Structure 1
């Protein structure tokens, strides 16, 4: 009968408004939760078929929960370099454990980017979810697959070991004195015999003393410091623009060579009439015009090589000698610039806008670790919510695609930033009042229907 349907409609109103209150309570409680997406309960009427003309049966109301997952929260600056926000569409891929991930382990998706480094070196957010990314391959690339989550691993930024960068290039800025006096020993100098400058460096009682020495400090493949000298002796030439030159290791035992102890190269360095170096006719590196470089094979390799006892890799050092001049001024070294760095340890973590996670070392080296993938869905509002401010895939959400940050519609990563919740407190408090009034009104329906039924029962008395 109609009175019963009215009572049931009141009950449905209580249930629907209870759901609305629960959603509002969740929103208010999570107003400060990073990247929280507000929920809302919308109401839809339920219509009961009217079988008797002129009579009406109430159907009531039902609550329909709607998620606003696709709504972008405000991006706010953070003081941590591992705090991340997504500016645009997409989600971070996360897992519930770090090491030993298998295909059967569940992955979820979140925009809560409050990541920090845990004791084992993994990037973990406040909900204890581990950030996933494509690990850097040995060739420096990333195996990016748009649909295979198994290519991604929990990103670890500590178990990388120390970083070493051997020297590969050196720039020398120096001047050789064009007015220098030719040494008496120049007349007997021979770079391939005991009269060499390399011999003098090994034992000052032998060999030929150079007029000028430039010291180069190289870093080897193990991060060790190796000294290599470039020695010059002014030659007795008609133009006065020729110098004898040698390159040798100090101590000589660092290098195994077939010629003089520690000697890597020997020849002549030529200068033009304007004082600039003439590399075209310089023979220090072999034939005239040869590439200026130091080439040493690995320990155990072919001579010239690093000594076997050192156990280090082959090394080629390019020498930029364009700034070596010959002017009538005191021989001097103006500057020496070179790359390479000894053993360094991780001091910071950096994430770029395109998702590259890099480790920063105290020797100024930067090592790429992984690339963060961004998961996108055709209908993110259709995802199902799970604990930890995360989501799981559903049919309603559509097919997932993993993209590189900023590519194909995926959002860019904002490092040192966090996404705020999308909760508007003023709107929630207004909804709270409306829900309270609607709940009271629904309860009044039940009270009124009960009174009418009581009147009906009293007719019989």
Structure 2
């Protein structure tokens, strides 16, 4: 057996244990890092060919394995922008270099510009939401992604387009009986516009309904629905107009458009009771964003002063065939490697992808007790390997001293 080989074997063992101590140190340092996945050092033997009658000592090789697929526990917080994934998948974030990365670290905070940035400075990405269909995604790429922005809605107004009136017109009133009511509508700029309705009895089972708008600044009255005949059958049920609907004309007011509004009056009756009416017109007044909600399916909705929740974005989620083979990078992010498989895109709570927990963070999957045990083992093994090196050195000294 070569004494030099013995010394090299001891050095190999010390280097291997030093690598193990390195991963243990990283794990302990990041035990409180949200979404951190622990590293471990794996050992494999290095065998060198030996001649007949002599043994050629080899050594040990090390490789680092990451437990990226092992999910940590969850810690719940008071911030809705703290996000965790319950199940498979990764958030897509963009670095300052404009490149997209994968991460499980969901400690996002809203910035002044409305973007969501995590503690490592990466920006959360997603798709613009559509109520008609799921966003079209590039399955194996990041095309189509956009920055998730909680101020993207700004001020919002929804113009009126439809409404309904349910009323009972008293059958026992005399011809000429008149009853006014009003409904509030909204123009294209979110201004409230009061529409005045008038019902006049013209005969047995016959009435007219009309509507107008009075400009509060000028006092000018603009007809919106001309006097329209409505008739009832002997049971007091509506006969005409056909379809049970009337429509306002629409107009422009101070540069804003009040759209034509289809009013459903099919629920109107004529019975021997006093006049009563209920009704509503859709649309919302101008309001600003006051909050947001992030659902389990990753839909990011903005909350307006009017109480309306408007979906704006849907978080993107990615996965690979072998998550443990991803390349870990600074900032608790990952990139695709040759061994991880291609990145496949999808949505939270869809297929094999996990759901999003708002107001929660995924803890590190580091077990401190296990790491401390590994540290003690590595320390003892390092000492043992140093003894092998020391013994080889001492024997070499004996060999040199044979000749004096």
On whether the aligned pair clears a TM of 0.5, the verdict is yes
Q: Alpha carbons of 1:332 and 1:19: their partners in 2 closer, same or farther (altered >3 Å)?
A: same
Tell me the residue number matched to 2:228.
267
Any conservation in 2 of the 1:165–1:365 contact (CA below 8 Å)?
no
- Give the distance between the partners of 2:348 and 2:229, measured in 1 at CA: 55
Q: Alpha carbons of 1:451 and 1:415: their partners in 2 closer, same or farther (altered >3 Å)?
A: same
Report 1:253-264 matches (<5 A): 261-264=222-225
- 2:377 counterpart SS class: helix
Any conservation in 1 of the 2:116–2:123 contact (CA below 8 Å)?
yes
Tell me the residue number matched to 1:77.
76
Q: Alpha carbons of 1:376 and 1:255: their partners in 2 closer, same or farther (altered >3 Å)?
A: farther
- 2:212 counterpart SS class: strand
Tell me the residue number matched to 1:196.
none
Any conservation in 2 of the 1:344–1:365 contact (CA below 8 Å)?
no
Indicate yes or no: 2:164 matched with 1:171. yes
Indicate yes or no: 2:241 matched with 1:317. no
User: Which structure has the highest strand share of the two?
Assistant: 2
Report 1:344-363 matches (<5 A): 344-363=287-306
Indicate yes or no: 2:368 matched with 1:425. yes
- Please give the per-residue CA displacement for 1:216-249, whole angstroms capped at 9, x wherever unaligned: 11011110111112111222x3xx3322321111
Q: Which moved more, 1:337-346 or 1:11-20?
A: 337-346
Report 1:67-106 matches (<5 A): 67-97=66-96, 105-106=98-99
- Give the distance between the partners of 1:146 and 1:170, measured in 2 at CA: 42
The offset of 1:112, in angstroms, is 0.9
Tell me the residue number matched to 2:272.
328
User: What 5-or-longer segments of structure 1 have no aligned partner?
Assistant: 98-103, 187-209, 282-287, 297-304
Indicate yes or no: 2:111 matched with 1:118. yes
User: What 5-or-longer segments of structure 2 have no aligned partner?
Assistant: none
- Give the distance between the partners of 1:362 and 1:32, measured in 2 at CA: 38
Tell me the residue number matched to 1:306.
251
Q: Pick from 242, 246, 253 the counterpart of residue 293 of structure 1.
A: 246
Tell me the residue number matched to 2:33.
33
Indicate yes or no: 2:209 matched with 1:245. yes
Q: Alpha carbons of 1:85 and 1:311: their partners in 2 closer, same or farther (altered >3 Å)?
A: same
Tell me the residue number matched to 1:205.
none
- Give the distance between the partners of 1:254 and 1:394, measured in 2 at CA: 71
- 2:270 counterpart SS class: strand
Q: How many residues align?
A: 404
- 2:302 counterpart SS class: strand
Report 1:203-242 matches (<5 A): 211-235=178-202, 237=203, 240-242=204-206
Q: Pick from 410, 431, 438 the counterpart of residue 381 of structure 2.
A: 438
- Give the distance between the partners of 2:299 and 2:138, measured in 1 at CA: 16
Any conservation in 1 of the 2:183–2:280 contact (CA below 8 Å)?
no
| TM-score in terms of structure 2 length | 0.91
- Please give the per-residue CA displacement for 1:166-216, whole angstroms capped at 9, x wherever unaligned: 22332334333333344xxx4xxxxxxxxxxxxxxxxxxxxxxx7211111
Q: Alpha carbons of 1:95 and 1:255: their partners in 2 closer, same or farther (altered >3 Å)?
A: farther
| TM-score in terms of structure 1 length | 0.80
Structure number, greater radius of gyration: 1
